[in-house]
């Protein structure tokens, strides 16, 4: 489900790691952006809006945990999946990363095949979520249209007392409303009709 148009932002202060990931990702068709610092990565992500971010945890200045937290606080980048990458192996660190908003956690040394598998999984999930959101929006729009159209009832332009139902049959307004709106009429006479019929004021 992933396409060559998918863009991956890789953030790591180690040139060797950047080179491995850049080559591995480009070889399978991804567009790759690279940064060596968290603060620069925040700017790049907000401007380029990559499809996924691979973020090293141990970096000078803003570390990966804080960078991830800031990405998730920014409305422009909060929905971009972030995979953290680190040599830290303590489960506490993994929990910290997940709580910061990361969707996954990869330990070093880097195995490109593992990284590619994780990327493919999370890009697929993101695209499925986007498709679901679009379908939901389309359904909401369709329901709104139906609701609007349901208020347009063909009524006789001459007498105003008959309505044409879905089968094209004409019936009284009272009958139509009783069968379609679950209302019951008491069949009383309004003051204007009473006066017109009897010639007397009600």
What was the pLDDT predicted at 6?
93
113 and 35 in a single domain? The answer is yes
- For residue 33, the cross-strand partners are 9
- Supply 134's token pair: 């679009």
Question: Could you tell me which of 134, 175, 123 has the C-alpha nearest to residue 6?
Answer: 123
| Residue numbers of the domain that contains 170 | 162-198
43: left (phi over 0), alpha (psi -120 to 50) or beta: alpha
pTM of the model: 0.68
What was the pLDDT predicted at 38?
93
What was the pLDDT predicted at 104?
93
45 and 90 in a single domain? The answer is yes
107 and 56 in a single domain? The answer is yes
Question: Could you tell me which of 38, 35, 39 has the C-alpha nearest to residue 9?
Answer: 35
Number of folded domains that form the chain? 2
77 and 177 in a single domain? The answer is no
What was the pLDDT predicted at 145?
60
94 and 167 in a single domain? The answer is no
42 and 111 in a single domain? The answer is yes
43 and 124 in a single domain? The answer is yes
Mean pLDDT, 10 residues at a time, the chain of 202 residues: 76 93 94 95 96 94 94 95 87 85 91 94 90 79 60 66 76 72 61 71 67
What was the pLDDT predicted at 202?
63
95 and 34 in a single domain? The answer is yes
13 and 99 in a single domain? The answer is yes
């Amino acid at each position: 489900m992933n396409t060559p148009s998918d863009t991956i932002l890789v953030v790591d202060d180690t040139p060797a790691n950047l080179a491995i990931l850049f080559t591995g990702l480009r070889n399978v068709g991804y567009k790759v952006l690279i940064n060596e610092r968290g603060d620069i990565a925040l700017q790049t992500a907000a401007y380029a809006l990559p499809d996924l971010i691979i973020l090293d945890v141990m970096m000078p200045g803003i570390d990966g945990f804080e960078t991830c937290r800031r990405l998730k606080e920014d409305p422009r980048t909060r929905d971009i999946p972030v995979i953290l990458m680190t040599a830290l192996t303590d489960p506490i660190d993994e929990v910290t990363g997940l709580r910061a908003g990361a969707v996954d956690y990869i330990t070093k040394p880097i195995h490109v095949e593992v990284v590619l598998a994780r990327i493919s999984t999370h890009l697929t999930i993101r695209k499925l979520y986007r498709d679901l959101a679009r379908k939901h929006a389309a359904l909401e729009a369709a329901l709104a249209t139906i609701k609007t159209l349901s208020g347009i009832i063909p009524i006789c332009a001459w007498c105003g007392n008959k309505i044409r139902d879905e089968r094209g049959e004409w019936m009284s307004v009272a009958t139509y409303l009783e069968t379609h709106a679950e209302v019951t009429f008491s069949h009383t006479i309004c003051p204007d009709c009473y006066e017109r019929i009897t010639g007397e004021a009600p």
